[in-house]
């Protein structure tokens, strides 16, 4: 695991963005596919709080992605399980996930894999924990009855199949979850802890998120920042390289 500790939310975001940029360049200008992890069911596609709206406003409209390359689980599909199975097939067909980017819930969940989710689960329909529903209430004017109670989500196993996993954790309210994820054992009550068994995991966090970690842990990884910052140095741009795939650069291994 690489633990990257930045001072605050903006710096953590910037580091993560640069890392993703580098990884995209390294991946080469192939048919880069993009999958989004999880989607509450029951929300109409153009509801302002739907994942479609969220992804459009925060990502898609700012870049030149073609719509055919976007795969978001459809929470309004007639057969939800079939939708999930098809999603898994699409991932396989695209050659598997190269880099999975996700956050962590205060209860240590990855995607919507709430405490108690199987660590080998696949994409499926999941009921949401009360904690998550409460956390999401702020998007629905605090009205609990309006918050969806189920979600389609990639499973822990699905994410474990990715070649690299990057988890973004910012804020003091996530500190305990981060502690459980990396300093305690692998436990299905804190599903992010599953990534201790993944060969290539990257946690990017801000100072506040480290509040529950041992000082020793924090000092160790801060000491490695000199090495880790090399990961976000600008690479050759694809335009400069022409059509050549840059095969020489590999991600650092632990």
Binding residue for another protein, selected from 46, 79, 141, 233, defined by CB under 8 A:
46
CB of 244 to another protein, least distance (A): 23
Q: Is 56 in the site for another protein (CB under 8 A)?
A: yes
Q: Is 68 in the site for another protein (CB under 8 A)?
A: yes
Stretch that binds another protein, among 52-60, 92-100, 114-122, 203-211 (CB under 8 A): 52-60
Binding residue for another protein, selected from 9, 34, 60, 139, defined by CB under 8 A:
60
Closest CA relative to residue 45, chosen from 65, 70, 62: 70
β strands within the chain, DSSP E? 2-6, 34-35, 38-40, 70-71, 99-103, 124-127, 150-153, 164-169, 201-206
User: What are 207's two structure tokens?
Assistant: 């100072």
User: What are 213's two structure tokens?
Assistant: 């970690």
β strands within 19-163, DSSP E? 34-35, 38-40, 70-71, 99-103, 124-127, 150-153
**Cα-Cα-Cα-Cα dihedral sign, residues 254, 20, 92, 36:** positive
Stretch that binds another protein, among 33-41, 57-65, 106-114, 172-180 (CB under 8 A): 57-65
Number of residues forming the site for another protein (CB under 8 A): 12
Specify the residue, 39 or 205, whose C-beta has the smaller distance to another protein: 39
User: Residue 35 in contact with residue 91, Cβ under 8 Å?
Assistant: yes
Binding residue for another protein, selected from 26, 53, 149, 200, defined by CB under 8 A:
53
- Chain contacts with another protein (rule: CB under 8 A): 45-46, 52-53, 56-57, 60-61, 66-68, 70
């Amino acid at each position: 695991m690489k633990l990257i500790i930045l001072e605050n939310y903006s710096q953590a975001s910037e580091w993560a963005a640069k890392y993703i940029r580098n990884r995209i360049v390294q991946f080469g200008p192939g048919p880069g596919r993009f999958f989004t992890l999880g989607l509450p069911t029951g929300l109409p596609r153009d509801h302002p709080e739907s994942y479609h709206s969220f992804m459009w406003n925060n990502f898609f409209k700012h870049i030149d992605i073609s719509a055919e390359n976007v795969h978001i689980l459809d929470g309004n599909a007639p057969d939800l399980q079939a939708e999930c199975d098809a999603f898994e097939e699409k991932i396989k067909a695209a050659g598997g996930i190269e880099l999975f980017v996700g956050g962590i819930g205060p209860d240590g969940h990855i995607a919507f894999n709430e405490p108690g989710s199987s660590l080998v689960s696949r994409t499926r329909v999941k009921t949401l924990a009360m904690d998550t529903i409460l956390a999401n209430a702020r998007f629905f004017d605090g009205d609990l009855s309006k918050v969806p109670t189920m979600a389609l989500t990639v499973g822990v196993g699905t994410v474990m199949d990715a070649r690299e996993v990057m988890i973004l954790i910012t804020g003091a309210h996530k500190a305990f979850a981060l502690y459980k994820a990396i300093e305690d054992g692998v436990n299905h009550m804190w599903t992010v802890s599953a990534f201790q068994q993944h060969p290539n995991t990257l946690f990017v966090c801000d100072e506040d998120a480290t509040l529950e970690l041992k000082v020793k842990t924090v000092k160790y990884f801060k000491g490695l920042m000199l090495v880790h910052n090399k990961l976000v140095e600008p690479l050759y741009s694809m335009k400069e390289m022409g059509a050549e795939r840059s095969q020489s650069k590999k991600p650092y291994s632990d």
